[in-house]
A and B are shown apart, each in its own frame.
Chain A
Amino acid sequence: MKNAIVLALTVYGLAAVISMFVAVLIKGLFIAVRRLSR
Chain B
Amino acid sequence: MAKIHLKQVKKTYGKGPKAVDVIHGIDIDIADGEFIVMVGPSGCGKSTLLRMVAGLEEISSGEVMIGDRVVNNLEPKERDIAMVFQNYALYPHMSVYENMAYGLKIQGLPKAEIETRVQRAAQILELGALLERTPRQLSGGQRQRVAMGRAIVRKPAVFLFDEPLSNLDAKLRVQMRLEIQKLHKALRTTSLYVTHDQVEAMTLGQRMIVMNKGRAEQIGTSAEVYGKPATTFVASFIGSPPMNLLNGQLNAEGDRFTFDDGSSVNLPAAAQGARAGAGARILGIRPEHLQLGHPGLTLEVDLVEALGAELLVHTRCGGQGMVVRCPASTEVATGQTVTAGFEPSTVHWFDPQTTHRID
A binds B: no
> Which residues from chain B sit less than 8 Å from chain A, CB to CB?
none
> Which residues from chain A sit less than 8 Å from chain B, CB to CB?
none
